[in-house]
Structure formats: structure tokens, C-alpha cells
Amino acid sequence: MHRQVPFHRHDLVPGDAAAVARVLATPMLTSGPVGREVEAQLAALLGTRHAGLVGSWTNGALAALLALDIGPGDEVIVPAMTFVASANVAELLGAKPLFADVDPDTLLLRPEDAVAALTPLTRAVIPVHLYGQMADMPGLRAALDKAGRADVRIVEDAAHCLEGTDRGEAPGAHSDIAIFSFYATKNVTCGEGGAYATNDPALAAAMAQTRLHGMSAGAADRFAGGAYRHWDMARLGAKANLPDLLAALLPLQLATIRDRLPRREEVAARYERGLAGLPIRMPAARPGTRSARHTFRSTCRRPCATRRSPRSTPRASASRSTTAPCRLSPTTAGDTATRRATSRQAMPGARARSPCRSTRRSRARTRTMSSTSCASRSRRSASARGSQVDSVTAKSSGARHSASQSGGAGRGTSPSAARPISTGVRAT
């Protein structure tokens, strides 16, 4: 019998619920004073001049492209290795996403590949800090300037990388704007939500409008001071604001996010030790970076038997991608079965075990194939072998100690309060 470990389990505590209850006791449930306090907290955390809250990464990126006047006829460079939203935001505005290749070792967009994809219609680049590791932002800015394209704007996809750094600098330091996600599986979450950070005051002013229908004043501003203030539609905008009801879940998490990173790094290091010696590749680290360790990713490469239907045409090779639950759960307090399984993988000289159930199924199918059939295929083509790639991501989550006070103050980590670190599988 095996145990399926959830891909993610949030670690919100009673103090977060108390913060939501305090908002419910006020008339302002939509964007208001709580959100403004969180925005100031976020700007201080990232070291940027401006920060704002949005309803999701996708809506935040839409608002950013609207603020940058990107639309039909424009092109936006996006790395080929990313989530669909990175390209969709350009498509939704009538712009054309251009996919650039990524570094095969880090899986990040390289400055030279972005420059190679430039055309006269390119208006922006959306580099993605995949799995929590930052792409080279200073290098990208320098490469665009050297190519004579200082007009191309950089919109960082930092959905995985709130606490990541590159040579001590957080996202937003070298781009026009960085967009973050507070989705349910992120290191900081409010269920659905996001944020942006920028050092450009003009862009920050435009974002304040494009995230709220292009209006010159939000609800809290229109009723500030006890007198109604009229508003105008200054530009085209989206409905992308975050209500105080959700923003109330963020302050305690933001206050402890950097303190929780070492625990995530510890879990990731354990995975790396346990997988050492197996035919598994993990993304290489860029020098000078500190990953947010949002997701642990590994790729398993192995031969795949080629099957041919009598009605199909002969093929020299076959390639498949499958996903299956993986037994990559780290040690947690009181979890004896998990501790034993992890220890066997990490023991020197231990028999290498398949990390995925799909591997065992694949090998079983291979063993049942007749030797005559295999020999016949070998004579027809010496290259009749394919490759199968299993992309495995294990979402590791730092444990937060439950808030002991009713107000939710004070979070830390404690072995007795440690929760199972989530793992899972994602097709890439």
C-alpha cells in the first residue's frame, strides 16, 4: 500500500482567520485600507518604490500590458518553458506571443535567446522565474540596450519567486514591472490573488487605473473623507483589484516568508541527496541566485519500447510523456513509513528504486514483449528506440507554527508543528 501525498497543503493558521473576521466587522470588504497596508509591506519586502495588489497573476499581467499600451500588432517574447498564462495575456490583448528557447540546464530564458527573437514589432519580454529561480534580469536589460532596443519593456513573471533573489536583489529591481501570484499553491497565498512591484512612478500610476477598469478612483477613494468624490474613466482597464477580505490573509505570511525559506531549502537538499546516482536531472542553479524553492522539479529519462499498430506506418522512434504519483515524501514528525522510505533512498549502496510508478509499469511491459518481436524491430531499424520523459515536481512547503495568540501574532517553525511537505507531478 502506498500513500498519495497532496501536491500542496496550505499552512494558514488561526491568526489569519482572525484577520479576515476583523475585515468582516467593517463596511469595507473590497479594496481598501487593509490592502494599502499590505502593499506598503510588500514594497518594503522587495525593496521597490511601488507595489500593488491584484486579483491574480494573470489579471495583474493584463493590467501591466494595458498600462504599457501593448495590444494588436505588437509582439511579446515569452520563454517556451512556462505556464500558459504567460503567453495568454498577450493573446487576450490581440498581441502575438513569440516563444524563445530556454537554457536546457536552468530552464530559464537567456538574454541572448531573447535578443535573437526580437523583431521590429517586439514591445515586451516576459522572462519567467521558473520553479523559484530568477532569470538573468541585469543581463537581459543590458542585452536589450546593446541591441539598440531599450524601448522593449521587461515584465517579470515572478509567480514562483516572491522570496527569490539574484545577487541579493529581488524581482522588480531591473525590470519595468514584476508580477507575483498568491494562488492557492504558492508560498504565500490568499486563495486567489497576486501583486506587482515597480520602481517607475508613472507605470505605478497607470497600474492603479488599469487594475480597476481604468477608473481614476476606487471605491475607498471615492468615499474618503466622508464626502463622495466623482471619478472618470481615464483609460481602458481590467477588473483586477484584490479585496481586503483576501488581502487580510497576507500580512502574517509576508512577515515570515524569508524565515521559512531555509526549511524549504533543507527539504530540497534532502530530495537532491536521495535522488543522487539515479538517471534523473534537476535544473542547475544560476550562480549568485537564491531560489524561492516554490517547486522541486526532476526529469527522469529512460528508454521506451516502440509499439506499432498493423494499420500504422513504420516509425523509427517514439516519444511519450506520462505522469504518475511519485514517492518523494520527506521525513515528517511521526511519519514512520515515510521516514523509512526516504532513508532507504538516501542510504549509500542501497538498491536504486524507480521514483515513479509509471517506470515500474513501463519495465513490466518491456519484459512481457517477446524476444522475437524485439529482434525483428532491431533488424528493421537500429534506432527504433524512443525516449520517455517523466517530469516530476514536488511542491515543498515550509512549516509555520500555529499562532498561539488570538490576534495571530508570532509565527515560527517547530519540529512538533512540522507538516508533511507536499509532493506531486506536473506535465511539462
Residues designated as active site:
186
Instruction: With H, G, I as helix, E, B as strand and everything else as coil, classify residue 307.
Output: coil
Are 184 and 11 contacting, i.e. CB atoms less than 8 angstroms apart?
A: no
Q: Which of 51, 28, 61 is nearest to 200 (CA)?
A: 51
Are 311 and 187 contacting, i.e. CB atoms less than 8 angstroms apart?
A: no
CA distance 58 to 263: 29
SS3 per residue for 337-375: HHHHHHHHHHCCCCCCCCCEHHHHHHHHHHHHCCHHHHH
CB neighbourhood size of 185 (10 A): 17
Classify residue 399 by its DSSP letter: -
Are 127 and 112 contacting, i.e. CB atoms less than 8 angstroms apart?
A: no
Residues 369, 310, 321: CA angle, nearest 5 degrees: 60
CA distance 291 to 106: 12
All three cell numbers of 189, joined, read: 497565498
* AA identity, residue 323: T
What's the Cα-to-Cα distance from 42 to each of 50, 191, 251, 254, rounded to whole Å? 9, 18, 9, 7
Question: What H or E segment, with its residue span, contains residue 37?
Answer: helix 33-46
CA distance 231 to 217: 6
* AA identity, residue 83: F
CA distance 257 to 194: 15
* CA-based end-to-end distance of the chain: 28
* AA identity, residue 285: A
Residue 309 backbone dihedrals phi, psi, to 5 degrees? -80, 145
Residue 350 backbone dihedrals phi, psi, to 5 degrees? -70, 150
Instruction: With H, G, I as helix, E, B as strand and everything else as coil, classify residue 176.
Output: coil
